[in-house]
Amino acid sequence: MMTKVQIYDKAMCCSTGVCGPQVDPALAKFAADLDWLKSQGHDVARFNLAQAPAEFASNAHVQKMLAEEGVECLPLVIVDDRVVSRSEYPSRENLAMWTGTVMKPKATLPMASDSGCCGGNSGCC
């Protein structure tokens, strides 16, 4: 089932904040995480206060949070019309959890068995 994910960012120079001479690594990582979420089949929309103020004005959750907390509540992450995160960029793991997306386990290095350096009872050690 496709999940609707909306991100409401503070005013930034571009839609992702990944531009200019000094890019915040957290913004670059979050942009990559959103691309991953899209690749998993979810409907992801990101709005920047400087470039899409009408989107902020038309969402009741966003209006309420801005009225109560000001822009400090941004970024807001809304999944299926429910606020799931505010004031920080969530991890890919949290995005996966909120959207019900299964993450592939990270590859691990093979480990030696518990039977000694040479394996079994070879007597070499």
Structure letter (DSSP) for residue 34: H
d(CA 105, CA 39): 17
- 35 within some domain: yes
pLDDT of residue 12: 73
- 55 within some domain: yes
- 109 within some domain: no
Q: Residue 12: name the closest of 74, 88, 82, 93 by CA.
A: 74
pLDDT of residue 24: 74
- 118 within some domain: no
pLDDT of residue 19: 64
- 91 within some domain: yes
d(CA 35, CA 38): 5
- 63 within some domain: yes
What pTM, to 2 d.p., does this model score? 0.77
Q: Residue 54's domain is classified under what CATH number?
A: 3.40.30.10
Residue ranges of the chain whose pLDDT lies below 50: none
pLDDT of residue 56: 96
Q: Which domain holds residue 94?
A: 4-99
- 42 within some domain: yes
Domain tally for the chain?
1
- 95 within some domain: yes
pLDDT of residue 17: 58
Q: Return the structure tokens found at 81.
A: 């019309």
pLDDT of residue 13: 67
